[in-house]
Homo-oligomer: A and B are copies of this chain.
Amino acid sequence: MEKLIPQIDLVESVKNALFDAILTGEFLPGEKLAQDELAEKMGVSRQPIIQALRILSENGILCPHGKKGVAVSKLNKKNLQNLLQVRRELDCLAARLAAKRAKIREFEDHDYEQIDSLKKLIALSQLQMKGDNHANLVRNDLEFHKMIRSLSGNTFIQSTLEPHLLHQSRIFYITTVNRHQVIWEQHESIFEAILSGDANEAEHLTNAHTVEAEQLFEWYQEEIL
């Protein structure tokens, strides 16, 4: 018999919907979010909305709007660089750990599935680059790094970065335009270094990969998002 669809709760749904809406630009940075309006739009009561807003505020995705309500956070250059710095450090750790696990053959079934998925993701991205698939390629990019973090065996790396994911997505949307070719070549090198069990090389490549994104911001203005 078919598995029943596990019905996720409303708070989670609202959270995801808001996440998407901010990412796609439906809600712009600085824009105030009214509970009533959101509730009506999504066809739920204010209760799940309030809870979702709280969580997103906790994550820094939303921020207080005057003395009343919340708004989409604006990120300035300094903030984004700080975020990318933290991200770099943890993704280097992830690459190093993943390679070490590969070397001592610590991978389990679950990991081999991830490796298969990674291969498919790289192949898919190569294909998508031929068309106009910026949004998809950004999604793949995020997915790639998520999988590497998974291969590290340290679940805290992903969960630690999770709250910043939306900000990261927004950054990637900006910084990866016309750079997918070089990005996915780097991804492939990192992946190979990990599989070969070369921790130093994996970390080195990841560092170079992530530092590039940071450097791109040198050219941007102060208020970006």
Chain A contacts to B: CB under 8 angstroms: 11, 50-51, 54-55, 58, 60, 79, 82-83, 85-86, 89-90, 93, 97, 153-157, 159-161, 163-164
A47 to chain B: closest CB distance in Å? Answer: 8
Q: Per a CB cutoff under 8 Å, which of B11, B82, B159 touches A60?
A: B159
Q: Which residues of B have CB within 8 Å of A154?
A: 82, 85-86
A93 B89 Cβ-Cβ under 8 A: yes
A85 B89 Cβ-Cβ under 8 A: no
B164 A86 Cβ-Cβ under 8 A: no
Q: Which residues of B have CB within 8 Å of A51?
A: 50-51, 54
A46 to chain B: closest CB distance in Å? Answer: 11
Q: Which residues of B have CB within 8 Å of A60?
A: 159
A160 B54 Cβ-Cβ under 8 A: no
Please judge, given known A-B contacts A51-B54, A55-B54, whether A83 and B156 are in contact too, CB under 8 Å: yes
